[in-house]
Amino acid sequence: MRETKIKIGITMGDPAGIGPEVVAGALGRIEGNAGVGFVIYGDAAALKAAGWGTEAAARAEVIDFKNAAGVEIARATAAGGRASLDYIEAAVRDAVAGEIDA
């Protein structure tokens, strides 16, 4: 197995928005990994509901905050905004700590 050279962090955005679908779709379409690993900051249930499949799962680690329960798709709420902020803050902490490269 090839060692990962670069780790890229991706925040999924508001769990009620289009972000989970974009992340799931994009990672499901990448061919190979070219030494790149992905870390997704978000909610696993929201990603799964958006089409997260085995192709995406094979390319990324998901840090599951489990904070999208009760968030209604396509409806902006304070809970969705807080969840999104949680993902960003965690990704920034990991970047500063050197856990992810970008």
pLDDT in tens, 10-34: 999 999 999 999 999 998 888 777 7
DSSP letter assigned to residue 99:
S
Max Cα separation, the chain? 43
Q: What is the rounded distance in angstroms from the CA atom of residue 102 to the CA atom of residue 94?
A: 10
pLDDT of residue 1: 45
pTM of the predicted structure, to 2 decimals:
0.90
pLDDT of residue 3: 63
Q: What residues in the chain have per-residue pLDDT under 70? A: 1-4
Per the DSSP assignment, residues forming a β-bridge with 38 are 8, 60
CA angle at residue 22 from 75 to 97, to 5 degrees? 100
Q: What is the rounded distance in angstroms from the CA atom of residue 50 to the CA atom of residue 57?
A: 13
